[in-house]
Amino acid sequence: MSYLKHMARLALLLTSTALLTACAGETTSTPATNPDATASASDLSRRIERLASDDFEGRAPSTPGGKAASQYVADEMGKAGLAPMGENGTYFQSVELTAAAVLPSSTMSIRKGDNVLVDADQKTNGVFWTKRIDPKVSVADSEMVFVGYGVNAPEYNWNDYEGIDVKGKTVVMLVNDPGFATKDDALFKGNAMTYYGRWTYKYEEAGRQGAAAVLVIHDTEPASYGWDVVSGSWTGEQYDLVRPDGGASRAALEGWLHLDTATKVFEAAGLNLTEQMTAAASQDFKPVSLTDLKLNADIEQTVKKTTSRNVAGVLKGSEHPDEYILYMAHWDHLGTSEDVDGDDKIFNGAVDNATGTAAIIEVAETMVERGAPKRSVLFVAVTAEESGLLGSAYYGAKPIVPLAQTVGGINIDAMLPVGETKDMKVIGFGSSELEDLLKKQLDKRGMYVVPDDKPEAGYFYRSDHISLAKLGVPMLYADPGNNHVTNGLTYGEKFAKEYTAERYHKPGDEYDTSWDMSGIAQATDIMLDMGYDLANSDDWPNWYEGTEFRGLRDDMRAGK
């Protein structure tokens, strides 16, 4: 910790002790002890190293390690000078979850007559689970049908389920959406993934269609990650929000098939998978029966209801305390797994997302040093992002402050320690007027905005900001760029590619004291200044005209 920050914190504790114990509804203001305060790389390093330590055992929700990690975040928010905004005067918002673990006795097979084509092993050829909370779930002799991308999108005049009743059947589909396959900008959003390309949508839609089981074919390029991410992320204990229907509206079985395995399955049905992929990208596509193939499954699982927690603190505004700027990051990661190769079984999640969690605490601490802005600033570290954005979805359903009073939000997720760059990436570029505010900050520094360099990966739909965006709240998700100030663009691109291939969602995502923290500090400062300026203004940024969330925000602002 810097000397200035130490003195600022001491002064704050002596003069504003009431802030830490103030109830959420009170208006408090903090004196400015250093109006020019900036983010500290050393403080960021300290917090990232602690959050990514083995002590927290990969920060899985509701585990002892996860509970300890969320307590650490709450303690750091308190030390930073934030007032609690959780339940009963605490920093915690309880998030009710189910935790289910498929037992080794479970089976999923694909057969042609008496010939077993696939005996899924949860590691190399197929991964499966159920969202139903029953201890035993079965699928018997389910006919199989290929439904292309598994998309029903009226606005794109596209329905892969048209002309077929899939009730009781197993639907097999491709990852991503047709625009990626064709690179045709007139088809969906061209190379950029839409929400229809996300596995979350595909499983949900299959359930709405009445399918008994749904299998997504993994393919590294359109998925944007390798098979080891699937086998590492979707085995072991899995979390979900408590569903009123107990998951009955979902297909009995959900899962992934390895591309090589799917190729053999299609060959057994007399089909060429490559040809079917090409056909699926055409608007003329019709579902294709996988003739004579049947899926059988018996899933046995442990199921329990559990509780994790979002962590929330606030810096109350001095003039408009009921208007809020939101900073969000997820504190959780994947926990531990005995199924991974090697001695290291802990998914430490240093980049993903100890960096973002450390950053929002650093923003909070630095804002406290600068003194309270006119509007309030709310900091929320959410849980269970890795399980499907569950903590942020829970917050969206039960917001701590009304969404209509949330001016806009900044989500920070997985900042790479690439060093200082000349650019910043906006995920989902072209979405909201928050991008204009970011550009203003970058212009001051001689930097520039770049769109996400992998829009086909669908990152805009893969982090917590989308939970609030879908409800109308303008959200920005930005990362440090790739154009390194001295080593250039190629260096940054190689750095990012190597992380994705070697460490993303793997035990290798660990903190290293050799990290160059200058870029993370740079990006933290930029997002700090952006939010602080917005908190001192009267502006209400909106989504750009023509975006899917603009109408929701307009109605919200109009009180509808």
My answer on whether 323 and 370 are in the same domain is: yes
My answer on whether 147 and 45 are in the same domain is: no
Q: Give mean pLDDT, residues 34-44.
A: 94
Nearest to 465 by CA among 525, 389, 527, 402: 389
Q: Give mean pLDDT, residues 176-187.
A: 92
Q: Is the pLDDT of residue 24 over 70?
A: no
Structure confidence at residue 312 (pLDDT): 98
- For 419, what's the count of Cα atoms within 13 Å in the CB-facing half-sphere? 13
My answer on whether 69 and 146 are in the same domain is: no
Lowest mean pLDDT among 168-172, 368-372, 397-401, 451-455: 451-455
Q: Which residue has the tokens 């942020």?
A: 392
- pLDDT-based confidence at residue 237 (cuts at 50, 70, 90): confident
My answer on whether 181 and 43 are in the same domain is: no
Structure confidence at residue 462 (pLDDT): 86
Mean pLDDT over the full length of the chain: 92
My answer on whether 92 and 153 are in the same domain is: no
My answer on whether 30 and 88 are in the same domain is: yes
Q: CATH code at 280?
A: 3.50.30.30
Lowest mean pLDDT among 15-29, 128-142, 207-221: 15-29
- pLDDT-based confidence at residue 27 (cuts at 50, 70, 90): very low
Q: Which residue has the tokens 């969602």?
A: 505
Q: Give mean pLDDT, residues 129-133.
A: 95
Nearest to 109 by CA among 137, 91, 128, 86: 128
Lowest mean pLDDT among 13-27, 226-240, 307-321, 429-443: 13-27
* Last residue in a domain, options 303, 328, 351: 303
My answer on whether 323 and 419 are in the same domain is: yes
Structure confidence at residue 339 (pLDDT): 80
Structure confidence at residue 4 (pLDDT): 37
pLDDT in tens, 144-158: 999 999 999 998 999
Name 505's Cβ contacts closer than 8 Å, sequence gap at least 6. Answer: 225, 229, 232, 233, 334, 347, 352
Nearest to 324 by CA among 397, 392, 402: 402
pLDDT in tens, 300-348: 999 999 999 999 999 999 999 999 999 999 999 999 988 888 889 999 9
Contact indicator for 339, 231 with CB cutoff of 8 Å: yes
State the SS3 of 239-287: EEECCCCCCCCCCCEEEEECHHHHHHHHHHCCCCHHHHHHHHCCCCCCC
Q: Give mean pLDDT, residues 284-312.
A: 96
My answer on whether 25 and 85 are in the same domain is: yes
Structure confidence at residue 29 (pLDDT): 53
My answer on whether 322 and 217 are in the same domain is: no
My answer on whether 75 and 224 are in the same domain is: no
Name 331's Cβ contacts closer than 8 Å, sequence gap at least 6. Answer: 51, 59, 69, 70, 73, 311, 353, 357, 381, 382, 383
Structure confidence at residue 461 (pLDDT): 87
Q: CATH code at 25?
A: 3.40.630.10
- pLDDT-based confidence at residue 21 (cuts at 50, 70, 90): very low
For residue 183, what are the domain limits? 100-303
Q: Which residue has the tokens 């990051």?
A: 329
What is the rounded radius of gyration, in angstroms, for the C-alpha atoms of the chain?
24
* Last residue in a domain, options 285, 303, 321: 303
My answer on whether 249 and 397 are in the same domain is: no
Q: Give mean pLDDT, residues 358-378.
A: 97
Q: Is the pLDDT of residue 1 over 80?
A: no
What's the residue count for the chain? 560
Structure confidence at residue 12 (pLDDT): 39
Contact indicator for 255, 127 with CB cutoff of 8 Å: yes
pLDDT in tens, 489-499: 999 999 999 99
Q: 11-15, 34-38, 139-143, 239-243: which has the highest mean pLDDT? A: 139-143
H helices of 371-423, in order, are 390-397
Q: Is the pLDDT of residue 9 over 90?
A: no
Task: Give the other-Cβ count within 10 Å of 228's Cβ.
Answer: 15
My answer on whether 329 and 391 are in the same domain is: yes
More confident residue, 448 or 195: 448
* Last residue in a domain, options 275, 303, 331: 303
Q: Give mean pLDDT, residues 72-87.
A: 98
Q: Give mean pLDDT, residues 97-117.
A: 96
Q: Which residue has the tokens 């930073």?
A: 80
Contact indicator for 353, 411 with CB cutoff of 8 Å: no
Q: How many domains does the chain have?
A: 2
Instruction: Indicate the pTM of the whole model.
Output: 0.83
**H or E stretch including 322?**
strand 320-330
Structure confidence at residue 544 (pLDDT): 95
